[in-house]
Structure 1
Amino acid sequence: MSSFRLLRVLAWFGAWLVVSTCAASLIFVGSERTIVVASHDATVSPDLSGNVVVRTGPVLPDLRISSGSEIGVEVELGKADTDSMQVLTARYAAIASQPRGQVAVVGRAVRTMALAAIVQGAALGAVPLLIWFAVGGDRRRDLVRRLRTRSGLLGAAVVLVVLTGIVVPLGWGRSESAAERWTPLGEFLGPSLRLPPEAEGVEVLADATTAQTRRLVASAVSSYRQGLEFYSRAEQDAAGLELREPEEDETVVLLVSDRHDNIGMDSVARAIADAGGATAIFNAGDDTSTGERWEAFSLDSVAEAFEDYDGRWAVAGNHDHGSFVSEYLGELGWTYLDGSVVDGPGGSRLLGVDDPRSSGLGNWRDETGLTSKEVGERLTEAACQADEDGERVNTILVHDADFGAGALARGCVDLVVGGHVHVTTGPDPGVGENGSTGYTYTTGTTGGAAYAIAIGTKLRRAAAVALITYRDGRPVGIQSVTLQTNGRYDVDEWVELTY
């Protein structure tokens, strides 16, 4: 290739790159996505303001904080599933104390819009080049001559006006109104309320606020500080727990259940898992209280806390009504068990199914109205058939361990684990009809939930997790860890499982 031709190719590429970059930038700042943020249907719009602005609606003041980069984002909160402002502000406080899940959600939305803008910009950038080649040299020279005439100048002006009409509405960031008066949160609330260091960069839109609004915000900040202090201390203390250290040939799995939206415990559970050498997680269900879309913040949080785990298995609990929970966590990379035997941790085989009191019934979804007894029978048959085929199931993961009682009674499984009752029991051994030993274990509520409610500044009741050790494809030990409501840890001895 001659140097002249190379220069022409580089010029074409440079022109494409400039046009593509400009087009992608304009498309990006004009984009928006509707997602679920902080239990709201929310519209997310990127801009170049360098700030994260949260438009909360008519009651609470809007919030603003620096994004730490040139890219900013505006989040406009829509409807929320609550009829109490106090309940809503309590949710805000809980989410603010553990924001990583929601930050990840908004970040994914912004990255998706950026990628879409780049693809569209690249395509648009090629249009002028295609037109350039399609017109040809003779026609281009003719157009240049005509451009010098009155009609040519008029045509160029019309094109310029049209392009301006397209570009200006998109804008380079949604500029804030000159009437907006942003005030530091500490100044807005007054000197009587101690502001946590993490909130010092937050500003509020202070116009048209009332004394009631200030009280709501002050209550949320107070709850935020209390929750942050309690769970941060618990997370730090977890790192120093004296837990059994796994051998080189062992795999440790963290078992959680009945989180019931308490995202404060997710970082604590992860700290316990790290201290115990866990590299995978079992989730026995009831991540939510109703299974509705507004509880996506809870699923975002647990997914973010264990994002780097290769093994993440789960079943839905009786409170995870509908298919939203399993579908949403499935999109985030979790494996939901559907009544089929799958590969489990440490070379083991794993079986599980959703609680029939929720709508999901794994491979039996097309059979409506199955009772808990019928689901237990199906689970038993699946486990015992696998045992007969020489593919013994080592663990059954269910929301309620009673669903695995039949498989244990027939000696077709090594270990059944679940939750549901919010109290830790086991591991309890039993000898099946075929002489094989199996165990059942139930963990307490990881969210520290009273009934189906766990959100608050601290635990409503003791929170529990368990560490299950696998060796040579079989579960060989369990260690229970309980966080009391006063912040004290109770660590049980590691219980060996022998067969």
Structure 2
Amino acid sequence: MPVRRVLKVLAYVGTWLILSAAIAAAIFVHSERTVEIASHEAVLSPDFSGEVVARMGPVLPDLRMPSGSRIGVQVELGKTDAATLEELTSRYAAIASQPEGQIAVAERVVTAMASAALVQGAVLGALPLLVWGLVGGARRRELYAALRTRRGIAAGGLALVLVVAAVVPYGWGRSEPPDEHWIPLAAFLGPQVPLPDELDAVEVMTDATTAQSRRLIESGISSYDESLRFYSRAAESAADLDLRQPEEGETVALLVSDRHDNVGMDKVARAIAKAGGATAVLDAGDDTSTGSRWEAFSLDSLAASFKDFDGGRWAVAGNHDNGGFVRDHLEDLGWTYFDDEVVDGPGGTRILGIDDPRSSGLGDWRDQTGLSFSEVADLLAEAACAADEEGDRVDTLLVHDANIAKPALERGCVDLVLGGHVHVQTGPTAVTAEDGRVGYTYTLGTTGGAAYAIAIGSKLRRPASIGLVTYRDGRPAGIQSITLQPNGRFEVDPWVALTY
């Protein structure tokens, strides 16, 4: 290829790259997405400031901190269902002590906006070159000569206006912030309020109203510090627990249930999973208190804590996970729910699960309504026993309330029932069916340490429970229970073998 042609191609490619990058950058910084962040409906707007700015609303002052990269983001918090400011600041403190889930959400959204901007920039950047090539050299010379006339100037001006009109709307409606005065959070609160090291880089925007909210921020910082210290210490202690280690050929699954929005326990559960050699997760439901969208932070935290568990992640919805939001959100994040059939489970086993029928008003298998709890239990037993007769025995039946699996267990159709719901640990208890086959039922206490339907707070309201289920040779082989007391001490039960 002649040198001149090579240079011409390189010039085209270089021009396309420059145009694409410029257009993509303009689209990126003028794009925005609405997501659930920190129990709010929030609008995320990226920029190149290298800072994360949280617009907290009319009462609390705005916050700013480094993002750790050249990319920054503005987070404008919208509506929330918190009834009081004290409740809202308590949520902020709990979420801030376990921020990985919210960080992952923001990163996914910003990455998606960047990818979309790059695609649009590449297409729009190619259009001028495409038009340039289609017009041809002779016609370009004619147009250039015509531009020097009065009519040509008018036509060129019109074309420029059309181009600007096609690009500028990406930025219309985005007003530039007024001059802002930022001070370190430590200076805002004063020396009488000690700050955790993690908040050294946080700044507060000051104006006439921020002094009035200082007391709320002090309360939130106190709750944040207490929560961070309690759950961080618990996670450190969990790493040193004397837990049974899996032997060759065994797979261990972590069992959680009734977290009720307590994201602080996620780091503790993760540490216990690591100490016990767990590579899979089973979730028996009630990750939220109401199943509302504002509770997405709890689901995001759970997903972020166990995103690298390659042994699998299975879940069912509890009675407090009302509606379909919880299931849909966790499914989008890679968790496996159940649709009428037995699927592959931990360690090469087979697993069946069902959402609590009280969570959505649906009956059996999401397609029958108006069924009672006992009717759903009987239909679940029919499904499990039918699978057993077909040679596809259910090794684990994952439910929210173990009572719904009682008929299946009494008929000898399952090896192990795992549930939660009652916030009190019971079992594992052997159940002998009429034909002599043995199965087990095990109910985990509340992983979130919840006294009622919500567990957000700087410390546990009651003991928090976590289970480790061992699988061997295609069947459940044993269970070990771990309990974190409100005083921060762990109680580790002996590993209980399951024999058939």
Question: Aligned pair 1:401/2:402, yes or no?
Answer: yes
Amino acid at match of 2:73: V
Amino acid at match of 2:108: R
Give 1:176 deviation, angstroms.
Answer: 6.2
> Is the 1:338–1:354 contact (alpha carbons within 8 Å) kept by the matching residues of 2?
no
Q: How does 1:433-472 map to 2 (within 5 A)?
A: 433-472=434-473
Give the match for residue 479 of structure 2. 478
Give the match for residue 69 of structure 2. 69
Give the match for residue 209 of structure 2. 209
Give the match for residue 38 of structure 1. 38
Counterpart-to-counterpart distance in 2, 1:437 and 1:261? 36
> Is the 2:364–2:371 contact (alpha carbons within 8 Å) kept by the matching residues of 1?
no
Give the match for residue 247 of structure 1. 247
Matched residue SS, 2:78: strand
Amino acid at match of 2:65: I
Give the match for residue 281 of structure 2. 281
Counterpart-to-counterpart distance in 2, 1:122 and 1:223? 48
Give the match for residue 8 of structure 1. 8
Counterpart-to-counterpart distance in 1, 2:3 and 2:99? 55
Give the match for residue 413 of structure 2. 412
Matched residue SS, 1:357: helix
Counterpart-to-counterpart distance in 2, 1:329 and 1:360? 20
Q: How does 1:244-393 map to 2 (within 5 A)?
A: 244-310=244-310, 311-359=312-360, 361=362, 364-393=365-394
> Is the 1:266–1:305 contact (alpha carbons within 8 Å) kept by the matching residues of 2?
yes
Matched residue SS, 2:214: helix
Counterpart-to-counterpart distance in 2, 1:170 and 1:228? 41
State the Cα RMSD in Å.
1.9
Percent of pairs with identical residues? 65
> Is the 1:417–1:442 contact (alpha carbons within 8 Å) kept by the matching residues of 2?
yes
> Is the 1:353–1:362 contact (alpha carbons within 8 Å) kept by the matching residues of 2?
no
TM-score, scaled relative to structure 1: 0.96
Q: Deviations over 1:381-412 (max 9, x none)?
A: 11111111111110100001111111111111
Amino acid at match of 1:485: P
Give 1:211 deviation, angstroms.
Answer: 4.5
Matched residue SS, 1:298: helix
For structure 1, the residue ranges without an aligned partner over 5 or more in a row are none
Do the aligned partners of residues 433 and 361 (structure 1) sit closer, same or farther apart at CA in structure 2, a change above 3 Å counting?
farther
> Is the 2:479–2:495 contact (alpha carbons within 8 Å) kept by the matching residues of 1?
yes
> Is the 2:256–2:467 contact (alpha carbons within 8 Å) kept by the matching residues of 1?
yes
How many residues get paired? 499
TM-score, scaled relative to structure 2: 0.96
Do the aligned partners of residues 404 and 177 (structure 1) sit closer, same or farther apart at CA in structure 2, a change above 3 Å counting?
closer
Q: Deviations over 1:49-99 (max 9, x none)?
A: 111111111000011111122111001000001221110010000011111
Give the match for residue 496 of structure 1. 497
Counterpart-to-counterpart distance in 1, 2:165 and 2:229? 52
Q: How does 1:208-227 map to 2 (within 5 A)?
A: 208-227=208-227
Q: Deviations over 1:229-267 (max 9, x none)?
A: 000000111111111010120000000000000000001
Matched residue SS, 2:64: strand
Do the aligned partners of residues 186 and 166 (structure 1) sit closer, same or farther apart at CA in structure 2, a change above 3 Å counting?
farther
Counterpart-to-counterpart distance in 2, 1:44 and 1:126? 29
Do the aligned partners of residues 362 and 249 (structure 1) sit closer, same or farther apart at CA in structure 2, a change above 3 Å counting?
farther
Between 1:359-368 and 1:330-339, the stretch displaced more is 359-368
Give the match for residue 100 of structure 2. 100
Counterpart-to-counterpart distance in 1, 2:389 and 2:167? 69
Give 1:364 deviation, angstroms.
Answer: 2.5
Matched residue SS, 2:358: coil
Amino acid at match of 1:387: D
Matched residue SS, 1:201: coil
Counterpart-to-counterpart distance in 2, 1:150 and 1:305? 66
Counterpart-to-counterpart distance in 2, 1:475 and 1:212? 58
> Is the 1:255–1:467 contact (alpha carbons within 8 Å) kept by the matching residues of 2?
yes
Amino acid at match of 1:104: A
> Is the 2:363–2:372 contact (alpha carbons within 8 Å) kept by the matching residues of 1?
no
Counterpart-to-counterpart distance in 1, 2:129 and 2:177? 39
Between 1:145-154 and 1:35-44, the stretch displaced more is 145-154
Give the match for residue 184 of structure 1. 184
Counterpart-to-counterpart distance in 2, 1:161 and 1:197? 52
Counterpart-to-counterpart distance in 1, 2:244 and 2:361? 36
